[in-house]
Amino acid sequence: TTTGLILFFQSGRPLGAGVRLGLGLRMNRTKGDEEEYWNSSKFKAFTFDDEDDELSQLKESKRAVNSLRDFVDDDDDDDLERVSWSGEAVGSISWSIRETAGNSGSTHEGREQLKSRNSFSSYAQLPKPTSTYSLSSFFRGRTRPGSFQSLSDALSDTPAKSYAPELGRPKGEYRDYSNDWSPSDTVRRLRKGKVCSLERFRSLQDKLQLLEEAVSMHDGNVITAVLIFLKRTLSKDILFRELEVRQVALRHLIHFLKEIGDQKLLLDLFRFLDRTEELALSHYREHLNIQDPDKRKEFLKTCVGLPFSAEDSAHIQDHYTLLERQIIIEANDRHLESAGQTEIFRKHPRKASILNMPLVTTLFYSCFYHYTEAEGTFSSPVNLKKTFKIPDKQYVLTALAARAKLRAWNDVDALFTTKNWLGYTKKRAPIGFHRVVEILHKNNAPVQILQEYVNLVEDVDTKLNLATKFKCHDVVIDTYRDLKDRQQLLAYRSKVDKGSAEEEKIDALLSSSQIRWKN
């Protein structure tokens, strides 16, 4: 009953006898008062013109009171019930209705109750707030002297406890996080792309069974996912020992480590498996991460003595030697270019550094800037050809492209001129003169130069095709004359310009009585 309740202030001190007497008098209402109480109403009917929207305030108050119950409960005051000045329990629906009505000032009876609460003369000197807790201060951001802090302030003071309700997931979703899946079920779920925790597999036997199930499924993504879990939860020695007898999983792990660039673990794995050649190649691959040329050169020097195969050892040695030469050439050419005393660097400034370039690019660079240098210099093309055993075809092709780009036609001619033991000169091209003609035309060689090398093509059909394609008219006319093909010569006459020297030459050949035409 209400007569047994004890009214508390915010300080927690009980009220005096006068208040309890007043409460007792309030409970001893007459029958007429009771009927008036039950037949009366504090609220007016709803209208669309109601500016205060009391219905919304009531709903807000009800929701606030329901959510406030967990907030205002204290473990130490479970047996106590807080009441307001009107004798009603704080947090009840009637209390919240009275609060809303009192704050809006919409009823006369609310103001009369406030006056009656202020009629206790023995406590007139004390400040009397409307209630111990104010919904408006909690949920509307209004603070009044003597009232509690706002809800946001109260929550910020207790970071360890969250008062916001947690929305539950549908029951169907909890099946994805179940810990009761067997290794085979787990692997099947992983294959379908569903969320599945592997943490429940703690023993080595369970983890190996999970790996075997993944391998038997023949799904690389699932195998990799299980290997990542094993890599994180097992020591290196145990992991390597178990994978040594499981070659499929081992190959997946090696590929995964290469993809993520975990060179340290990859080297440890190759060392454990005694794969010396793969260990050396993995160590050599680290040079790609070194940007400084001098540091990369020193690192390559340490790779020379690693246990590579015979062919790979030669490549590693050539790589080290090439980078060493490139550093010397780069330093010297940078000095010559900055000095501005060399004609080739003035006419054709360098577009990029030669450092870390391939061997063919280095050879082209040497043929372009250092073609006439003596064989004893590091930058000489001939020196590069002998040092790195560059084939004749590769050397001629690269040198031709470099000298044709500079339009050094004398150097091009000398490149294909050879002498026999009797001293006779002869044109010879290891790459074939048809390739020579195409490269020369690509570099805008004059027609006279093109005709000279088109004539050196041995195959007649290839010669005619190239001569027609690049408009080497004299070569076409002379070839049809040698073939004694009058019809083809007549047909070609229509392709040359009228009144040109080529047309006159064709007419002279057609009217000649010394040629015995075959058609």
- For the chain, the structural domain boundaries read 183-274, 290-390, 406-471, 472-518
Given this model, what pLDDT does residue 110 score? Answer: 46
Q: Which range (154-168, 307-321, 335-349, 369-383) has the least confidence?
A: 154-168
The helix or strand, by DSSP H or E, that contains position 426, with its residue range, turns out to be: strand 425-427
The span from the CA of 468 to the CA of 356, in Å, is 43
Given this model, what pLDDT does residue 306 score? Answer: 84
Contact of 412 with 400, CB cutoff 8 Å: yes
Q: What is the mean pLDDT of residues 422-445?
A: 91
Angle between helices 220-233 and 247-260 (to 10 degrees): 80
Structure-model confidence comparison of residues 412 and 278, the more confident one: 412
Q: Which range (121-125, 411-415, 477-481) has the least confidence?
A: 121-125
Given this model, what pLDDT does residue 82 score? Answer: 54
Contact of 356 with 323, CB cutoff 8 Å: yes
Whether residue 206 has pLDDT greater than 80: yes
Q: What is the mean pLDDT of residues 149-177?
A: 44
Q: What is the mean pLDDT of residues 105-131?
A: 44
Angle between helices 247-260 and 204-217 (to 10 degrees): 90
Whether residue 389 has pLDDT greater than 80: yes
Q: Give CA angle at 33 (28, 37), nearest 5°.
A: 110
The span from the CA of 333 to the CA of 350, in Å, is 9
- With b for 16 or more beta-carbon neighbours within 10 A and e for fewer, the 227-250 pattern comes to bebbbeebeeeebbebbeeeeebb
Given this model, what pLDDT does residue 92 score? Answer: 55
The span from the CA of 496 to the CA of 513, in Å, is 23
Place of tokens 């070194």: 290
A 10 A CB-CB count for 291 gives 8
Given this model, what pLDDT does residue 145 score? Answer: 43
Q: Which range (83-92, 210-219, 339-348) has the least confidence?
A: 83-92
Instruction: Report the mean per-residue pLDDT for the chain.
Output: 76
Given this model, what pLDDT does residue 115 score? Answer: 45
Residue percentage of the chain with pLDDT more than 90: 44
